[in-house]
Structure 1
Amino acid sequence: MSNQRLALPSWKLLFQVHFWLLASLASCIANGWGMSPVLAQEEQLANRSHQLGNKQPATTVEEWLAQIEASIVQITNVCVEATEEGLQVILETAEGELSVPETRTVGNALTLEIPNARIAQEYFQENAIAGIASVNVTQLPGDQVRVAITGTDAPPVAEVTAEARGLVLAVTLGEVGEVTEEDTIEIVVTGEQDEGYNPSNATTATRTDTPLRDIPQSIQVVPRQVLEDRNVTDLVQAVETVSGIVDGGRYNLIPAGGYTIRGFTQSGNFRNGFRDTDFYSLTGLSTIEQVEILRGPASVLYGAVEPGGIINVITRQPLSEPYYNLSFEARSYNFYQPSIDLSGPVDEEETVLYRFIASYQNAGSYQDFVNTSFIEIAPSITFRLSDQTDLNFYYEYMRFSADPPLAFSSPSGRWAFSNGSLVTRTFFPSYPDIHYSAQTVHRLGYTFSHEFSDNWQIRNNLAVLFNRTEENTNIPTALVDDRFFEIIGEDREFTIDNYFGQVDLLGKFDTGTISHQLLLGFDFNRYVNYFRVNSFNLPNLDINNPNYVIPIPEYDITPLRFSFGQSYGVYLQDQISLLDNLKLLIGGRFDWASSGGEESDTLNNDAFSPRVGLVYQPSDTVSLYASYSRSFVPSFSRNPDDELFVPTRGTQYEVGVKADFLERRLSTILSAYEITKTNVITADPDPVRAVQGFSVQVGEQRSRGVEFNTIGEILPGWNIIVSYAYTDAAVTEDNSILVGDQPAGVPEHQASLWTTYKIQDGALEGLGFGLGLFYVGARPVDLPNTFEASSYLRTDAAIYYRRGRFNGALNIRNLFDADYSYGTAYLFRSDPRAITGSISWEF
């Protein structure tokens, strides 16, 4: 096996390359508009320098960055005073002068947004005087501060002036009758605005809305803005900026697939915390608000999962304010996709909210013959039964068809000749007339929540999935004499019906000076799988002179068989605040699982999965944590003595540090872990029984590593995501696999950089650029290790323009046309360079 590795560039080199590319792209765009970006920057710097009392604009990058930072004015205090005319709001500053913004009225609220400003502490006051319902002063992304003053019966009026002590708003009451009851809108700003690249909370780790810094485990969020900036096409691409996750390969090019997380395969996904799809099911991106990745064992809340971690998608929900979005994308290889996203209230009282998302996709491919289509329709409706009770119903329909789909190879089939060169990427190594796939998915369910009080809440959820697939595949299994593909054909049909139900109780209470957040729950999951697979031989395909026209082979169609599995789980978790800066997380879950089918008896497993973690916060911006957790996966088979195998267990020890910088606009997490997976099934050491197919449960695999992630905003308009993972994964005990072999698809080194910059003001305001570098080291594609996929470095780029309600973008994936293989169970070739143009309009 080759030990070749591609050396990673230093962060300084990455920054220099990024800045050079951004400058070059800016020059091309700006010159096309008749303005040099250098002149534009000098004009902007001159204006900001004048504000700061400087006579000369910046002449270096360092001076430019320093002047931008210096131009941001800090609001140190908000003072609200009653006057004879009404109210006076003073935004006090220590130094620097705030810009005087224009005011605008929305319903009965007066709002103004102050640019180039930050606030030390957000402010909120109800009923400041008679006639004023609330005063809100809050921080917005992009170094803007919003002031919202809401009148009780009419919109207030304000005169805004800049004084030495800061910005002064002289507020008077508006006249009643200036707005109708239908127009009355209260703007409540509570700090829950779009946090851009760096969300501060997530629900996946605890099933509660918990700050990331309070969670004693590595968790990362990929927000909607990142998905849009990168213009990813499926969930596998969506998590490429996350350390420790590697593409495990897609199936027939459908928008689904598997992953390796911290050295272990994880083929299923979760959706809003519910068990959802497996390797073969569809997951569309149109309905996804953000993706949350919890690394390490998650069985304490989610039952039977592999110990590497889970991926949980959070979907877009109905909105209380009208929202309409139309978009269209076109891409290389005849790809096009129109889509719509509509949401808002149904009635005047806003007790019924709806959302309707739909998209249609049609695409060719770089590979000969391939053509695919994908449709997604997702309506949902929310009933606000009372101030304490919400009920949401949702449905999602997806259909993917390909005639033929993208061809793939078994790991032994490969794409390489004996001299190491690769088969031409456009070559279709199968028979297109008998290679097709069609898959249909229906999702439906409801979520219900009721608050008994401010501290106690009950939640109930039901999620149902019906998945049906019909396909005929040709799988290259070997390349003979550097010329002929040996191919096996398979006719497949399978359905997966999955039912998930859950109820939990969430409460907050104190015991003396110690605060608790308690979670007690029960869930049930059942799946039924009907399947059949018929194999048949196909003639070898000559690469030099392919003959794709062959008679359709005859074969016997076997009847459908079925299998089922079900589980019950009870879990208890307590988030304990021992001190303001010392937090304990402790929890446990007990599962009962069973499995069976028409050809086997029902077999039962049970397992207990604990988790305990401690977080110590020496300051408001630093968290130190340590945790211990376990996972399980049932083993539904028997040993030679007819005894049922016990579940496979995963055990993790993890320590880490989380830190926030630049007033929490930039966050970093550094973690180290060791996971041991025990009770792995391996061949029987008795050669006679091994030949007969018997196994024993003595295998063990271990993964240890270090992960680093930084995400957020460095300067106004400049976002960045940096990740690196070192993974030392190996088989540590086995009777048939060589000790020391790496699990399939696990590289030792993996790193990524994604960064964007959007011009904040001036003639080019709204113009932005993005650059991505994605490195994956060499890794085996099978176990035992017989074949290795080489390392690769892929470069992505983006140019976009966003202003007002308009959004236009140009994304380039695989800018330098890197050619590599990826996957484990199935081996795919990388897509060549692809350019996507997209436009959207909100109204």
Structure 2
Amino acid sequence: MTLSKNRQKPRHAHRRIAIAAAAVALGATAPAYAEEKDEAAERGKALPTVTVTSDAEESATGPVTGFVAKRGATATKTDTPLIETPQAISVITRDQIEAQGALTLREATNYTAGVVSSYFDSRVDSFSVRGGNAVQYLDGLQRTYGTYNSTKPDPYTLERVELLRGPSSVLYGQGGVGGVLNLVSKRPQAETQREVQLQYGSFNRKQIAADFTGSLDPESKWMYRLVTVNRDSGTQVDQVPDDRILIAPSLTWRPNADTSLTLQALYQKDKSGSLIGFFPWQGTLLPSLYGQIPTSTFTGEPGFDRFDSRNTSLGYLFSHRLNDTWTFRQNLRSTETKVDYFTSYTSFTANRATGRPARPVFNADARTIERDMSADINGGKMLLIDNQAEARFKTGAVEHTLLVGADFQRNTTSKLSGRGRAGALDIYAPVYGNYTPPTSFTRAPEVVQKQAGIYVQDQVKYGRWIGLLGLRHDKATTDTEGRPAAAADDKATTKRAGLVYLADGGWAPYLSYAESFLPLGGVDTSSNPFKPQRGKQWEAGVKWEPVGRRTSFMAAVYDLRDTNRKTTDPTNPLNSVQLGEVHVKGLELEYKGSIARDWDWIASYAYTDARVSRSNGSDLGKRISGVPKHTASAWVARRFSIGGVPGFTVGGGIRYLGESWDGMDGIRTPSATLVDAMLAWDNGPLRLSLNVANLADKVQITTCLARGDCFYGQRRTVTANATYRF
């Protein structure tokens, strides 16, 4: 398992046809290539020796050879073939993360159909799926709660990433309408595997990582894993570091085939800042007297600005098979986080005396900007537990996989806040040091949210027909310290149903309905508690997994509605408001394949039409901000030999992100097309690789908002890895 690094970005409209054609061509040429390879073998040409993992050996949480996973647990919380799941789901395998060189979770998802991350950010990885946010989970338990009070996950610690699209509250309770992004940790393995990785890259990135796993006894009753990362790095923005210390030990006790207990721990400490300058429309999207603002411009203050985070978590994954029918599982995790978020940023404050609007603008000299300064010490505590009882049995000719569960979580957020004053900054020739830091801090009321849910799900199989029925009831309370009027007590019942038909040739058409319930907690600036966010979706699609080939295809169309969505107040960036209803319609296509470990490919396309469908404001009928109507991507990698030396791989990808709007249909962010590339040599214990994200070093504007600011994307990033396995 190795680290990765690669970035992604968008492309031009005419490329969509090229991507679709490439996907078809890959599928059409696969048999021809297989014949060609057989002929080569007959001529005595050496081909790499590979180990192929069969579908029967694959598990929902274990390693996968290549880019194509056949099983998953995120969609059902049971180990289920993906083709039998009546909802669109994508799996990003460890091999894909490594090949594409993903340095962040955001980069790991850049070739997944319909996933958009509008912000190139060092503070958080945020995702838009089907016009809504995807809630992050880790090993089936919610990973974050609150705002700017957690660390970013490190892809090196992950075995796979699974995206379940659309509402998913029946199993997860706190599930947004966009879907669930479930991260699956690397877990102890019986076979001894050890690796050390050195990495060097753009912006003086230096990293050493290690991953050790194996058995502690001959019977493999005790297995261990230790994953560590130590990084010292700059970023494309001056004065902003990207340093990390991470250690993730885990220990599995498996006394027999029926019982397993895995203890997990994580300590992560990051030292970073904000890559977002909140630059005005002028100088980014629109012309400016002195040209475009450099992407490296730092609007903060050296020595003051920082986004330093710390995460400590402990937990376990327990499973016990009671008999031939029943299996009991219990997953638990306790997490404590702390973030020092000190920043100086382009001001959103209006000045009536000078006529300055409440949005980022240049001063009269067209060079300087006014800045606001804030210092927040954010904290978070999470306690989560999920109990599951699974029964597999038959009633006549009908097979059942029944799941009954009860989960609970308690989330606490805290904040100390201070405000200071930073002087105007020449954004084209910055001179720092003119600021007055906060001298006092105000403690915000502590917010405690509790949620308890019970759920039941039955996966029913009769011949070629597979049905899924799910029902859940949640009770969520939110209490704000010293503010009884802000207390919220919410209850909800959510439903899910689906039907799949396993047709000849590996085809599986399906139809499903799903709902979501997301307690938001907190209050607006008028101390009014936010209402829970509710969603519902109809989806129809088809999946294809031809027998004996590691390829998969997915096509889905959907219609979903999301109510009470929270968004930034266009008149006050420090406040949030709730929209009446958002209506999203779309299409998603995704095609993946791995042939004899010689070819790997991905091709995807998504059409997303997301608009405000019910509102008392001027946003009625407007497109949701930062959600492009068209996105597409394609990646191909080929393994080959040079002069009889095997193990070489060359690959590349192209990403297209269509135009998007600011939320009021006033400011358009143009489309962008980006190219990535990789070259690797993997022979025996040593793997050398070179990944380049944004090969042409294109300056991309990822999104511009109605509140007045724009955001830059990732510049060209080159990363070299040397991994030694022993």
TM-score range, shorter chain: 0.7 to 0.9
Contact 1:250 1:258 in 2 (8 A): no
Post-superposition offset of 1:116: 9.5
User: Structure 1 residue 719 and structure 2 residue 600: aligned?
Assistant: yes
User: Structure 1 residue 415 and structure 2 residue 284: aligned?
Assistant: yes
Contact 1:414 1:827 in 2 (8 A): no
What do residues 46-105 of structure 1 show as CA deviations (whole Å, max 9, x unaligned)? xxxxxxxxxxxxxxxx999836425549xxxxxxxxxxxxxxxxxxxxxx999999xxxx
| Letter matched to residue 721 of structure 2 | S
- Partner residue in 2 for 1:462: 332
| Letter matched to residue 465 of structure 1 | T
- Partner residue in 2 for 1:570: 454
Change (3 A) 1:13 1:778: closer
RMSD between superposed Cα atoms in Å: 3.6
User: Structure 1 residue 433 and structure 2 residue 303: aligned?
Assistant: yes
Post-superposition offset of 1:817: 0.6
User: Structure 1 residue 506 and structure 2 residue 512: aligned?
Assistant: no
Q: Which moved more, 1:534-543 or 1:467-476?
A: 534-543
Change (3 A) 1:681 1:250: closer
SS in 1 for 2:219: coil
Rounded to whole Å, the distance in 2 between the matches of 1:630 and 1:250 is 30
- Partner residue in 2 for 1:8: 14
Residue correspondences, number: 686
What do residues 175-230 of structure 1 show as CA deviations (whole Å, max 9, x unaligned)? xxxxxxxxxxxxx9946673311010010000011111100000010000000001
User: Structure 1 residue 707 and structure 2 residue 707: aligned?
Assistant: no
Change (3 A) 1:546 1:218: same
| Within-5 A mapping of 1:253-332 | 253-254=122-123, 256-266=124-134, 268-278=135-145, 280=148, 281-282=150-151, 283-332=153-202
> Which 4+ runs in 1 deviate beyond 4 A?
10-19, 62-65, 96-101, 114-117, 188-193, 410-414, 635-639, 642-646, 679-684, 693-698, 823-827
User: Structure 1 residue 583 and structure 2 residue 449: aligned?
Assistant: no
| Within-5 A mapping of 1:157-196 | 190=57, 194-196=64-66
Post-superposition offset of 1:699: 1.2
SS in 2 for 1:431: coil
Rounded to whole Å, the distance in 1 between the matches of 2:335 and 2:522 is 27
- Partner residue in 1 for 2:693: 813
Rounded to whole Å, the distance in 2 between the matches of 1:465 and 1:827 is 34
- Partner residue in 1 for 2:513: 628
User: Structure 1 residue 69 and structure 2 residue 35: aligned?
Assistant: yes
User: Structure 1 residue 674 and structure 2 residue 555: aligned?
Assistant: no
Change (3 A) 1:680 1:230: closer
What do residues 526-575 of structure 1 show as CA deviations (whole Å, max 9, x unaligned)? 10111122233321111344321224335432134311101000000000
SS in 2 for 1:766: strand
Contact 1:716 1:760 in 2 (8 A): no
Change (3 A) 1:199 1:541: same
Post-superposition offset of 1:371: 2.5
SS in 1 for 2:722: strand
| Letter matched to residue 376 of structure 2 | R
SS in 1 for 2:303: helix
TM-score by length of 2: 0.87
- Partner residue in 1 for 2:625: 744
- Partner residue in 1 for 2:663: 783
Contact 1:248 1:824 in 2 (8 A): no
Change (3 A) 1:264 1:14: closer
Contact 2:674 2:694 in 1 (8 A): yes
| Within-5 A mapping of 1:320-399 | 320-399=190-269
- Partner residue in 1 for 2:344: 474
- Partner residue in 2 for 1:611: 496
SS in 2 for 1:301: helix
Change (3 A) 1:448 1:708: same
- Partner residue in 2 for 1:200: 70
SS in 1 for 2:627: coil
SS in 2 for 1:429: coil
Rounded to whole Å, the distance in 1 between the matches of 2:24 and 2:299 is 38
- Partner residue in 1 for 2:655: 774
Q: Which moved more, 1:256-265 or 1:817-826?
A: 817-826
Larger C-alpha radius of gyration, 1 or 2?
1
Post-superposition offset of 1:484: 1.5
Post-superposition offset of 1:829: 1.8
User: Structure 1 residue 836 and structure 2 residue 719: aligned?
Assistant: yes
What do residues 386-415 of structure 1 show as CA deviations (whole Å, max 9, x unaligned)? 33111111110000013x553431777973
Q: Which moved more, 1:540-549 or 1:567-576?
A: 540-549
SS in 2 for 1:401: strand
User: Structure 1 residue 758 and structure 2 residue 635: aligned?
Assistant: no
| Letter matched to residue 700 of structure 2 | Y
Percent identity between the aligned chains? 28
Contact 1:326 1:841 in 2 (8 A): yes
Rounded to whole Å, the distance in 1 between the matches of 2:101 and 2:316 is 29
| Letter matched to residue 397 of structure 2 | T
Rounded to whole Å, the distance in 2 between the matches of 1:224 and 1:728 is 32
Contact 2:282 2:288 in 1 (8 A): no
SS in 1 for 2:419: strand
Change (3 A) 1:761 1:518: farther
Contact 1:141 1:194 in 2 (8 A): no
Rounded to whole Å, the distance in 2 between the matches of 1:346 and 1:292 is 30
Rounded to whole Å, the distance in 1 between the matches of 2:24 and 2:562 is 40
TM-score by length of 1: 0.75
Contact 1:676 1:703 in 2 (8 A): yes
User: Structure 1 residue 141 and structure 2 residue 52: aligned?
Assistant: yes
SS in 2 for 1:539: strand
Rounded to whole Å, the distance in 2 between the matches of 1:72 and 1:305 is 48
Rounded to whole Å, the distance in 1 between the matches of 2:102 and 2:521 is 37
Post-superposition offset of 1:287: 1.3
| Letter matched to residue 716 of structure 2 | R
What do residues 570-589 of structure 1 show as CA deviations (whole Å, max 9, x unaligned)? 0000000022x110001011
Change (3 A) 1:424 1:753: same
Rounded to whole Å, the distance in 2 between the matches of 1:450 and 1:99 is 53
Q: Which has the higher contact order (CA 8 A, sep 6+)?
A: 2
Post-superposition offset of 1:434: 2.1
- Partner residue in 2 for 1:486: 370
| Letter matched to residue 369 of structure 2 | F
Contact 1:590 1:609 in 2 (8 A): yes
